[in-house]
Amino acid sequence: MPKPKTYYVCNQCGAESPQWFGKCPSCGTYNSLEEEIAIQSSTDIPSRGVSSWHSQQGNTKSANKPAKPRSSLRFDQISDRQVTRWPSGYGELDRVLGGGVVPGSMVLIGGDPGIGKSTLLLQVSNELAQRYRILYVSGEESGQQVKLRASRLGVTKPLNVVSNDNTNGNGHEHGDTTTTEVIEVIEDTQETSEISHIEGKTADLYVLPETDLEEILKEVESLKPNLTVIDSIQTVFFPALTSAPGSVAQVRECTAALMKVAKHEDITMLIVGHVTKEGAIAGPKVLEHLVDTVLYFEGDRFASHRLLRTVKNRFGATHEIGIFEMVEHGLREVSNPSELFLGNRDDPGPGTAIVVACEGTRPIVVELQALVSPTSYASPRRSTTGVDYNRLVQILAVLEKRVGVPMSKLDSYVASAGGLNVEEPAVDLGVAIAIVASFRDRIVDPGTVLIGEVGLGGQVRPVSQMELRLKEAAKLGFKRAIVPKGQKFPSLNIEILPVSKVIDAIIAAIPQASLEDEDLEPDDE
């Protein structure tokens, strides 16, 4: 028997190498190459030969008959009919998907363990099961575990669990479509959830507790669902590969096989992917290139809100976000996210400023907080939460050089309310004003928003989507907006104060603070 060939795969970028290196030749990551055993027959891998899988189902005709090659088409010969999207039942999810679920697409949802990925997909599956047939593939050993999670989320419909035993009580072999009802309708008049409004209808939702890729593909072929949820891709394995589940080869080949079935059978697939401690989806980076859409679930484990962010989308815009709140019975949509990231406007404190950040096409009003104090070390300390550290260092240098604030003698801390990441340059002016307000122990007018990028020469530079930002501020009742000079502004119920320099913005935002040289030193106690 010939010795199996081995090769090495980078667990960060997915690059292959015939020998081991301490540093990946492709991405430069150290100690990231892992040994994999090459499969001698390409037909053993379902992603490379779905025909072998069809032959196991008795479809020998299609397996033996060679596929007819597709001919190329001119661009103007392609039909321009609009693709019909499915509404998922959650507007925030539809927003990040580009308007709804695209039939036949594959969506990857990544996030930290316990962030709410499975919770969201269970709720979405329950909603869509009223109109479509849904298969929820769980890596858990028993459907009873899914039952406990579904009960906690307030799922009020029966769940049909496909048996993963060798035989069930009726003698059906593993993989048969005969199902047993394991969850009765939950009757609780005191507790309701966002998905209880469809009570009384029969849900076409099936749960398959299985990790074997071949068994999963058999069930997909037999059940023919409209949507399949894989929770998670790290638990699925293909027996022909000798590597462990979750390895580079397993994740890549299983995803490729599922993608081929999704496109061939027009089945929408939602795949859960765990992330590493660095924040990247575990397994090969090439996994993101295989799927159509990549979503990241973000959030602080100590906070209630969750952000669903689009990283890649072949059917819509990227950098869109959906905002959810974790409540007792699962995830709830946040209809007005600006209120979530705003502080108490009735009792403002020193060192706070209000900015309007844009995530994709969504404007969000956010409160920034700054604290500066004399340093007791040779090098002052800088710390940020939700704000780009390099942008903070640059703004501090501008304030010292162009305005005269002695930031080299002060520790500086800047944070965004709620921990929202606001790293775009349009929040620079708000960061600068919050720092100066903390330095002088002054309060910025709570009815004022600040929008603008700070240049190295102390200029306030124009930003994009100004009209969208001003409309959001006016809708929330803000009276003034300090913005860069030279941009066109819509006619809104809000006072516009154009400025060209940071020092002009400071005078307009903090009128109590004098900018004379003697006032720029910290107050003596």
The b/e string for 466-482 (b: 16+ C-beta within 10 A; e otherwise) is beebbbbbbebebebbb
- Name the β-bridge partners of 227: 134, 268
* Cis peptide bond N-terminal to 232, omega within 30: yes
DSSP for 435-457 reads HHHHHHT----TTEEE--EEPTT
pLDDT in tens, 361-378: 889 999 999 999 999 888
Q: What is the mean pLDDT of the chain?
A: 79
- Cβ 514 vs Cβ 503: under 8 Å: no
pLDDT in tens, 252-303: 889 999 999 999 899 999 999 877 655 555 554 667 888 999 998 888 767 7
pLDDT in tens, 184-209: 322 332 333 333 333 334 468 888 98
User: What pLDDT shows up at residue 406?
Assistant: 92
Distance in angstroms (rounded) separating the CA atoms of residues 220 and 265: 9
pLDDT in tens, 399-451: 999 999 999 999 999 999 877 888 899 999 999 999 999 999 999 988 999 99
Strands, E, within 299-443: which ranges?
305-313, 321-327, 330-333, 352-359, 362-374, 382-385, 410-416
Residues 6+ apart with CB under 8 A from 179: 160, 161, 162, 163, 206
User: What pLDDT shows up at residue 285?
Assistant: 64
pLDDT in tens, 15-50: 888 888 999 888 888 888 887 766 554 444 444 334
Percent of the chain with pLDDT over 70: 74
What's phi and psi for 305, nearest 5 deg? -85, 150
Distance in angstroms (rounded) separating the CA atoms of residues 431 and 98: 32
Q: Which two tokens stand for residue 188?
A: 């609780």
**Which amino acid, 330?**
G
What's phi and psi for 246, nearest 5 deg? 90, -10
The CATH topology of domain 339-520 is: Ribosomal Protein S5; domain 2 (3.30.230)
- Cβ 92 vs Cβ 57: under 8 Å: no
Element housing 498 (H / E) = strand 495-499
User: What pLDDT shows up at residue 142?
Assistant: 64
Residue 237 DSSP symbol? B
Q: Nearest Cα to 179, choosing from 218, 143, 212?
A: 143
Per-domain residue ranges of the chain: 6-40, 86-186+197-335, 339-520
pLDDT in tens, 236-260: 999 888 778 887 778 888 999 999 9
Question: To which CATH superfamily is domain 86-186+197-335 assigned?
Answer: P-loop containing nucleotide triphosphate hydrolases (3.40.50.300)
User: What pLDDT shows up at residue 448?
Assistant: 94
Q: Which two tokens stand for residue 381?
A: 């300390």
pLDDT band at 340 (very low <50, low <70, confident <90, very high): confident
Is pTM beyond 0.85 here?
no
- Cβ 324 vs Cβ 309: under 8 Å: no
**Which amino acid, 467?**
E
Name the more confident of 507 and 40.
Answer: 507
